[in-house]
Structure 1
Amino acid sequence: MALRPPDDDLQIPSERPKKQPKIAVTAEKQQPDYGVNDENKPPQATADASVDYIPSENLKPIADPEAEVRGLIEGLESKDWVKVCESLNDARRFALYHSILLLPILDRVMLVTAKAMKNPRSALCKTSIMTSSDIFTAFGDKLLEPSTSDAFDELLLQLLLKASQDKRFVCEEADNAVKAMVESMTPLPLLRKLKTYVSHSNLRIRAKAAISISRCVSKLEPEGMKEFGLVSLIQTAAELLNDRLPEAREAARAIVASVYEALTENEEEKQEEWQSFCQSNLPAIHAQAMIKLVS
């Protein structure tokens, strides 16, 4: 009987290693400008430590504005997000202290500011929103002129979107910017811009637009409301009164109260004239709701 050799002496023929199948790996596209922060969260201290959120009252004039303004657009369009934030703060300083120098390139500055609001990096998003506030404060109605009107429309849309975010970090800053816009502009032309958004498919944008409209209306004298159109205002309010969000409905009630007061100065005839006005310009069900609001 043959003896079995010890295991150490066994000669096992080497097996040829199987060829591993090739796995296609798609490299993720690097986006160095975006970083890891989410626009809806407060900036992480480690990532955004180099960015200062400077209140408007703490901004200082630029020492040599004529020289600095020539490189402003280049800085705003930089691939380095920190450089963009610095340039946005410079744009704020130009707006507040050297607005004449900023005016020729204001439309480009506004477009870059609106673009920065779309960036997922929270520091860049917040700084751009703060920039829009200072631009509103500095230029007011100039933003509605033909040379800047299109850029203003883009900026307004982005602000309404940011004001509609769930996260407080973005929403509060955007709300402040929208308030600054309403405070710094003549209400009548701004109303015409805002009115298009009360029919927006996004219910939160509708609500934010409604709040701004009610603020504009509250600033108007009766003649201003009549110039804009009492019928248009009451129809807008009727539309918002049935909106899903309570903020939109509350804004609608404020608009109704303003229109009611502007309709006539005769207190004895006001209720009767209001009833006739609503019934003439609204469907019966909406007219009845409006009449009850002020009765």
Structure 2
Amino acid sequence: MALRSLDNALAATAQERPKRHPKVAMSMQKQSEQVLGGVNDENVAPLPPPPPAAADAAVDYISSENLKPITDPEIKIRGLIEGLGSKDWLKVCEALNNARRFALYHSTLLLPIIDNVMVVLVKAMKNPRSALCKTSIMASSDIFQAFGDNLLVSTTSDAFDNMLLQLLLKASQDKKFVCEEADRALNTMVVSMTPLPLLHKLRASASHANPRIRAKAATSVSHCLSKMEIEGMKEYGLVSLIQKAADLLNDRLPEAREAARSIVTLMYKALTESEEEKQEAWQSFCQSNLPAIDALAIVKIVPK
């Protein structure tokens, strides 16, 4: 009797247990149909997109020397903005390379729309696709080379400042090939532009809250100073320069500290070039404009 009761209980439990196999089979069927494109069921999670590495590898990084002039540039300039605004990132890469060609060979046609182009450059630099990011950085380098100081005259302040900030940020990130390209673009910027107005543009970034941006901006400041005579430094402000160098000398990043030492050395050479008592004049300048502990640290940098 006990065994018969146990059998009856097991049979009842088996009848009450829900059957899951059909549901699983239906789910697998829906997934299969989705892969084949037969059914578009919003309740079925979409498959993840393919990794971008393969597509990124298909993008050609064309050096500036290998870019060619555009045939019929007056006609093709009309479609440049449309190409830059495409939702297909590969077409945007192609348009960016065309923008580079316009900058290098047909700059007068590109200048009226340079603000719009720079907005696209900044947007592309923020894109997670490395190929798009690198191509936009290469385009910024060619634009610096082609326009130089005209960028500060012919563009809005925000357009230039946003592009500069993104280049400083990309130059300080972990992806080596993007970082190196951004460094090259910043160097081209310094070479192509007059140092004094560029120093004013770099002022805010040299005090940026992000230490990596601050370090890259400090390096660009030192490169600008290497192109300046004492008159240019005085026009910018010697006191501001030495105070900024003192701040950077205490920065936590080695790159910022190295830039500070470079700034100090360049200022010392420019200030004491015509002074007979070089060390005394330098010490007097530092002690007059810095706290005692900072002045001592600055004075120790230059040779006695």
Q: Structure 2 length normalisation: TM-score?
A: 0.84
2:130 corresponds to 1:129: no
* Aligned counterparts, 1:242-253, within 5 A: 242-253=250-261
What amino acid does structure 2 have at the position aligned with 1:117? M
1:275 corresponds to which of 251, 262, 283: 283
3-state SS of 1:159 partner: helix
Change in 2 beyond 3 A, CA 1:16/1:207: closer
Secondary structure, in 3 states, of the residue corresponding to 1:219?
Answer: coil
Cα displacement (A) at 1:235: 0.7
Aligned AA for 1:99? S
Rounded Cα–Cα distance in structure 2 between residues aligned with 1:150 and 1:261 = 35
For 2:230 and 2:264, locate their aligned partners in 1 and report how far apart those are by CA, in whole Å. 13
Tell whether the 8 Å contact from 1:48 to 1:123 is kept in structure 2 after alignment: yes
Q: 1:285 aligns with which of 282, 293, 299?
A: 293
Q: Give the TM-score taking structure 1 as reference length.
A: 0.86
Matching residue of 1:17: 18
Deviations 1:252-285 (A, max 9, x none): 1111111112224334222111111111111111
How much has 1:250 moved relative to structure 2? 1.1
Q: Percent identity?
A: 72
Tell me how far apart the structure 1 counterparts of residues 59 and 301 of structure 2 sit (CA, whole Å): 49
How many angstroms apart in 2 are the aligned matches of 1:205 and 1:67? Answer: 40
Amino acid in structure 1 at the alignment position of 2:18 = P
2:96 corresponds to which of 88, 93, 101 = 88
1:260 paired with 2:268, answer yes
Q: CA RMSD in A?
A: 2.6
Aligned 8 A contact 1:96 1:138 in 2: yes
Report runs of 4+ in structure 1 exceeding 4 Å deviation: 11-14, 24-30
Give the aligned partner of residue 227 of structure 1.
235
Unmatched tracts of structure 2, length 5 or more: 24-41
1:53 Cα deviation from its structure 2 partner: 0.6
Q: Which has the higher contact order (CA 8 A, sep 6+)?
A: 1
The amino acid across from 1:120 in the alignment is P
C-alpha change, 1:132 and 1:255, in structure 2 (3 Å) is: same
The structure-2 alpha-carbon separation of the partners of 1:25 and 1:101, relative to structure 1 and needing over 3 Å to count, comes to same
* Residues 207, 214 of structure 2: 8 Å contact kept: yes
Aligned to 1:141: 149
Match of 1:47 among 45, 52, 55: 55
SS of the residue corresponding to residue 62 of structure 1 reads: coil
Retained in 1: the 8 A contact 2:275–2:281? no
